[in-house]
Structure 1
Amino acid sequence: MISKQLANQIVEQTMLRLHRNINVVHTNGMILASGDRLRVESIHGGARIVAKTEKALIITEENNHLFQNAKPGINLPIFFQNELVGVIGITGNPDDIVEVATLVQLTTEMMVHQALIASQSEWKRKMRETIFQDLMNQQPLQKVMEERLYKIGFFYAPPFYAITLDVEATLMAYQSFVEHMEDFFIHESVIFGRYQLNEHFILVSGMDTKAIKRKITMLLTQLKKYFNVRIGIGQPVQSLEKASYSYETAKNAIEYGDKKKSIIFFEEVEIFSLLKKSDSQEALHFTSRVLKDLNNKLIHTLVVYFSNNQQLTICSEELGIHRHTLTYRLNQIHETTGYDPANFQDAIILQIALWLKNK
């Protein structure tokens, strides 16, 4: 139904252009808003008839006495998605306003449609975020939640993927960001929104890994035109009650993933999450002991060497040095630390020390 706030907006905007008194009436006949404030909350007998018949009613000086609290004019039904939501009345000589009456009706229906669609969208957004909050609190799937999921069009078929988005969106741009998401996922079984302060989430059901990667790559292509965004994809789970675990792994993907990458799967950084207590005394002691007195140049050389799978030619090209120079540096690292970067077992220790140092 039309709210009083919306009714007042319709009266204000329509009278501004039409220069005639306008009444917006509830389906029960009560005037919600009017240019004549004394008529607000009184019963309009003519509008009651329109609400019952769903047909326009012309009131003249001759039949005016037949309708409670009515004045000459034209009263028309207002529909939203084929359902009667109110009545609009235009006060005046019917002969003078008949040509504009239909236009006023159509304009009003457009305003109602826009307002109610926006209201429904806002309701769905709040509902999605409430559901996600409950899932993060590991609330069991009760009937109320199942009904809510059904109302927002989410069908819980495994697997479930939780995804987090690290978005640099200003408050002014947030509405645009949400609208992008709504348009993009209009046909999918997806919950998305804002979680806590600056976390944005997506919860997807019924897609395999390939489909997820394809869909998120397409989403990124659209979003990065307007926003700086990184996307972390969590471990799939088979039960919606375990969505909180998937979301935690998605956040780990963002936290530990390569800052230059836009899409990170948790599997890529799983070992980092196992080492997440990198600020412990033991970790600091281990890093200091293994890397010892390596300078920044040698540490950078080691990072590039491991990132290129210990391939000398590719590593030397990326560093912009001769291959012999690279070999000399690796020998320096071996002599300083006691660990040989070319040896598999030693390389593991050096790599873990680097990870801990950079986390």
Structure 2
Amino acid sequence: MNINKLLAQEIANKVMQVIPYNVNIMDDIGRIIGSGDPERIDNYHQGATLAIEQGSIVSIYHTEGGAKPGVNIPIHFRNKIIGVIGISGDPQVVSPFAELVRVTAELLINQEFLFRERRIKEQMKEEFLYQWVFRNERYDEAFVNNGEVFGIDLTMERKAVVVKSNVNKNIPLYEQEFIFRLNPNLTLFIVPCQSEIVKRIEKSLENVEFKIGIGNPYTHVAASVHEAKRAIEMAEKLGMNQIHCDYKNLKFIDYLTNKDNSLTEMNNFYQELEENPKGRELLETLISYITNSGDMNAISKELHIHRNSLAYRLQKIEMLTNKNPKKFTDLFELFTCYVLYKMKSA
């Protein structure tokens, strides 16, 4: 820790508010870097040089060369002399102030050091957070360890929530929740899966126009960030008026426009149905529902089942896929995914 000129002058000013004598602050080579007498700045102080060499208080009783009468006290930081504080005047008069002045100076220096250390740590944490949010590579051991240093559990599944709004309001955050300003109109939240951040956002932005994009949960948060931003983009391009743009409800549309995306969940769903007798019943029901354009009587007759049984099967499909066959967009997705699955299987 070195004493810079700004800090040295601040110490001199604060000490001189307490004692009625001129104060000089010297660096670790005896050069004056702070003083109640501006003309002495950058001059070397003989008494300070002696105090550094001897490691103790040096009193000067008579004017000798450039040295004036006064007391010079070494300033310590972590058992090392980093400078000297000099009080001008008769040593017998100013000496009683020596310990008070030294303690005041060292407290100010220690306070400055802690502030600087905290600021550096905050900057390092901010840099790490941005690396984390946009990191496409896997998390290696070193990266995970860096996360632990900043109290971030990188093994936890999290979701990204992006808010599009030009209003800058403070949203309360809880443990393991983080916020980033992507641009003036776009704010990113990285939160645990069970977080109710969306409710807090809505409460904070009442009577304000905004959209919320929500990504799926991952341990690799960059994927969720991409999805949350993409959800808002798709909803706006399609003219959807909804406030909540949840990627899981828009993933199929993203697939149609970007074949690099996979529909693994749906593929697994259809594969599981085909491998299970009860599952084949549901698959048969879905195909019949499509070919008969949702006519419940015609479907029941074709499958030789009661309408109640048919309704139960449709509910079962919705429960397993989170897609309602009676809703056109969901039915379109179910059928298209089935076609893609069969073509891929073939």
Query: TM (normalized to structure 2)?
Result: 0.51
After TM superposition, the structure 1 = structure 2 runs for residues 32-71 of structure 1, keeping only pairs within 5 Å, are: 32-51=33-52, 55=56, 57-61=57-61, 69=67, 71=69
Distance, in Å, in 2 between the alignment partners of 1:69 and 1:234 is: 70
Partner of 1:303: none
CA positional deviation for 1:35: 1.6
The answer as to 2:19 corresponding to 1:18 is yes
The one-letter code matched in structure 2 to 1:120 is E
Distance, in Å, in 2 between the alignment partners of 1:233 and 1:32 is: 55
The one-letter code matched in structure 1 to 2:91 is P
The one-letter code matched in structure 1 to 2:11 is I
After TM superposition, the structure 1 = structure 2 runs for residues 53-92 of structure 1, keeping only pairs within 5 Å, are: 55=56, 57-61=57-61, 69=67, 71-79=69-77, 84-92=81-89
Q: Is the 8 A contact 2:157 2:193 kept in 1?
A: no
Distance 1:33 1:252, change over 3 A: same
Q: Is the 8 A contact 1:161 1:237 kept in 2?
A: yes
Match of 2:106 among 106, 109, 131: 109
The answer as to 2:248 corresponding to 1:248 is no
CA positional deviation for 1:251: 5.3
Distance 1:161 1:21, change over 3 A: farther
Give aligned-pair identity as a percent. Answer: 20
CA positional deviation for 1:154: 5.7
After TM superposition, the structure 1 = structure 2 runs for residues 1-359 of structure 1, keeping only pairs within 5 Å, are: 1-51=2-52, 55=56, 57-61=57-61, 69=67, 71-79=69-77, 84-136=81-133, 138=135, 149=146, 153=150, 157-159=154-156, 161=158, 163=160, 194-197=181-184, 209=193, 213=195, 235-238=216-219, 242-249=220-227, 270-272=248-250, 274-275=252-253, 345-347=325-327, 349=329
Distance 1:29 1:254, change over 3 A: farther
Deviation digits for residues 126-152 of structure 1 (CA, Å, limit 9, x no counterpart): 333333444555476899x95994896
Distance, in Å, in 1 between the alignment partners of 2:76 and 2:253 is: 63
The one-letter code matched in structure 2 to 1:42 is N
CA positional deviation for 1:271: 1.0
Distance 1:164 1:152, change over 3 A: farther
What's the secondary structure of 1:90's corresponding residue? strand
Query: How many residue pairs end up in the alignment?
Result: 255
Distance, in Å, in 2 between the alignment partners of 1:128 and 1:197 is: 21
Distance 1:118 1:50, change over 3 A: same
Kindly name which structure, 1 or 2, has the bigger radius of gyration based on alpha carbons. 2
Partner of 2:286: none
CA positional deviation for 1:61: 0.7
Deviation digits for residues 70-96 of structure 1 (CA, Å, limit 9, x no counterpart): 6422424143x6665433222222332
Distance 1:233 1:21, change over 3 A: farther
Distance 1:88 1:140, change over 3 A: farther
What's the secondary structure of 1:86's corresponding residue? strand
The one-letter code matched in structure 2 to 1:107 is T
What's the secondary structure of 2:223's corresponding residue? helix
Q: Is the 8 A contact 2:125 2:150 kept in 1?
A: no
Where does structure 2 lack aligned partners over 5 or more consecutive residues? 236-242, 256-323, 333-346
What's the RMSD between the two structures over aligned residues?
A: 5.3
CA positional deviation for 1:122: 2.9
Distance, in Å, in 2 between the alignment partners of 1:3 and 1:245 is: 45
Partner of 2:304: none
Q: Is the 8 A contact 2:28 2:82 kept in 1?
A: yes
CA positional deviation for 1:103: 2.7
What's the secondary structure of 2:326's corresponding residue? helix
Distance, in Å, in 1 between the alignment partners of 2:212 and 2:102 is: 46
What's the secondary structure of 2:150's corresponding residue? coil
Q: Is the 8 A contact 2:23 2:88 kept in 1?
A: yes
What's the secondary structure of 2:100's corresponding residue? helix
Where does structure 1 lack aligned partners over 5 or more consecutive residues? 278-343, 353-359
Distance 1:161 1:105, change over 3 A: farther
